[in-house]
Amino acid sequence: MPSSSREEETRFHPSKHHLMVLDRVTLDTSILVGPMSLEFAIAARLRYYRGHWSNWMVSEFSRVRTEMIIQRAKRELGVTGENDDDELIQGEIEQRLRRSRARVNAAVDDFTRVFTNVNYQAAEGVDLSWLKDEYDIPIMQTAIAVGVPGVLVTDNSRDFPIGEVRNGVLIVSGSMFMSYLYRTYPESQAVITEYAEDRRGAARERRPQLPP
């Protein structure tokens, strides 16, 4: 079960505030595909912090977004083990993937414009044996390659110890990071929220209407 914001704030002890280096922030895929991804992109665009990612994370973002689209389609279409090879169902899933391709590409383009790309392989020699999932290693390597002390923002509390420092990198959740950002720049929450609402409103207006 995810921790509440109050519980997370308690875990983010004030003694670690000096490690919240806003010009060396790495965003995990869980943030980039999460409900606040637009707010994170806007905050970086407005230079409230400097965000980073790597080629590994670009490819993982595309993969995860594609998997999410397929899983959502299967839920909505009621796919089961008995009908998953139905031609009509497979055709609908393929159509959804084609329609989503432009949105995924647009998201990658948007992130690329505001995040700095780093070579995660520059940190290949670092001991990351504390990570259980090998696919999390390039994410941590990205954060280390950005520079230490640095910050990794992730909502993957299963694999990353939220509120702790590992390999010189402070690991925080998305809500912890945004709370800190809003306290540091008191005007930022209103500015980012308004910007995000405008972007989402414009996207809804551009979205083609489905036939009745």
What is the value of pTM for the model shown? 0.82
Total count of domains within the chain: 1
What's the rounded Cα separation, in Å, for the pair 143 and 148? 8
Residue 194, domain member (yes or no): yes
Residue 68, domain member (yes or no): no
Residue 11, domain member (yes or no): yes
Residue 169, domain member (yes or no): yes
Find the helix or strand (DSSP H, E) in which 7 lies: helix 5-11
Residue 100, domain member (yes or no): no
User: Which residue range is the domain that position 183 belongs to?
Assistant: 5-55+116-205
Residue 49, domain member (yes or no): yes
Residue 154, domain member (yes or no): yes
- pLDDT in 10s for each residue of the chain, 212 residues: 344 444 555 466 667 777 899 999 999 999 999 999 999 999 999 999 999 999 999 999 988 877 776 777 666 667 666 666 667 666 666 776 666 777 788 889 999 999 999 999 999 999 999 999 999 999 999 999 999 999 999 999 999 999 999 999 999 999 999 999 999 999 999 999 999 999 888 877 765 443 33
Residue 165, domain member (yes or no): yes
